Amino acid sequence: MKRSYINSIIVEADAFFNAHGFHLPIWSLWDMQEWKANAKACGEIFSCNLGWDITDFSSGNFMRRGLVLFTLRNGDPAGTGKSYAEKIMMVREDQETPFHFHWHKMEDIINRGGGTLVFELYKADENEGFRDEPFTIQVDGVTTQVQPGERLYIAPGQSICLERGLYHRFYAKAGTGPVLCGEVSMVNDDHADNRFKEPIGRFPGIEEDEPPVRLMVGDYRSLLADSIGHSGDSRSLK
């Protein structure tokens, strides 16, 4: 993905969050100089991969298959610190997050406003394929029976609990507008706890055609390592 395109996506997503009254941490607005000035105090941000995360899942077509995420809080996958995580996302109409499940993480996905969120679900079998049998899930604490692959519509204010081993893909329903999508979960590890049904790239390669307007989680190591040095903080840049 070109950096200029990523920049435009972030600017649009930030305006979308603000329009819904959802405000990000102050450091989400820092420019490069502010990051460098504050880097030694930001061990938790770096070690827990907090911040902007833009992906096209290696599709080359972000509007068809992609997602904007901002990780607000998270624990370290090594098991230190917080045992929970929270994200906010912008999900566009018919913009797919492809089928995947998590081995360790259980999560609630919440429609916090905007359009209608659509889920398609399958239980994973012993070979990590699709299990062809009905199952139950919790929708706002209500036990709900689901057929494999059935579309489940989540309106603003509703939430769905995704247990371990539950394949899910999601997108905003066409004609309803983009969704302000929240996630509350156990510790999130996007490097080791995503099992996608088909091989994909979780983090995009970036063509640097202009400077970043906001740093993403993948930028911290490459752009800030020299500013961090040895801070005395046990949490290191990963």
- How do residues 6-19 score in pLDDT, each as one tens digit? 999 999 999 999 99
Res 238: pLDDT: 38
Residue 29, sorted as left (phi over 0), alpha (psi -120 to 50) or beta, turns out to be alpha
Q: Is residue 203 part of a domain?
A: yes
Q: Is residue 206 part of a domain?
A: yes
| Confidence at residue 79, expressed as pLDDT on a 0 to 100 scale | 79
Which pLDDT score, from 0 to 100, does residue 196 have? 97
Decide if 238 is inside a domain: no
| Strands 107-114 vs 159-162: parallel, antiparallel or unpaired | antiparallel
- List the domain range (segments joined by +) for residue 115: 3-228
Residue 229 — pLDDT band, cuts 50, 70, 90? low
CA distance 186 to 85: 6
Contact 86, 73 (CB under 8 A): yes
Element (H, E) at 16: helix 3-19
In a domain, 237, yes or no: no
Flag whether 131 is in a domain. Answer: yes
Reported confidence tier of residue 228, pLDDT bands at 50, 70, 90: low
Mean pLDDT of the chain: 93
> Which pLDDT score is estimated for 207?
95
Which amino acid would we find at residue 69? L
pLDDT digit string, tens, across residues 152-199: 999 999 999 999 999 999 999 999 999 999 999 999 999 999 999 999
pLDDT tens string 37-56:
999 999 999 999 999 999 99
In a domain, 163, yes or no: yes
User: How many domains does one find in the chain?
Assistant: 1
Strand partners, 78: none
Mean pLDDT of 206-217: 95
SS3 content of the chain, % helix, strand, coil (to 5): 20, 35, 45
Q: 145: Cβ–Cβ under 8 A, 6 or more apart, which residues?
A: 134, 135, 136
CA distance 96 to 99: 9
Instruction: Check pLDDT > 50 for residue 235.
Output: no
Mapped onto helix, strand or coil, the DSSP state of residue 55 is strand
What pLDDT score does 225 carry?
77
Residue partners of 227: CB distance under 8 A and separation at least 6:
35, 36, 39, 40
Which DSSP string do the residues of 74-141 spell out, in sequence order? ---TTS-S-SEEEEEEEE-BT-BEEEEE-SS--EEEEEEEES-EEEEEEEB-TTSSB--S-EEEEETT
| pLDDT exceeds 50 at position 232 | no
CB 102 within 8 A of CB 163: no
> Considering the domain boundaries, does residue 234 fall inside one?
no
Give the tens place of pLDDT for each residue, 64-95: 999 999 999 999 888 778 999 999 999 999 99
Q: What is the DSSP letter of 28?
A: G
The CATH code of the domain that includes 127 is 2.60.120.10
Domain assignment of residue 221, yes or no: yes
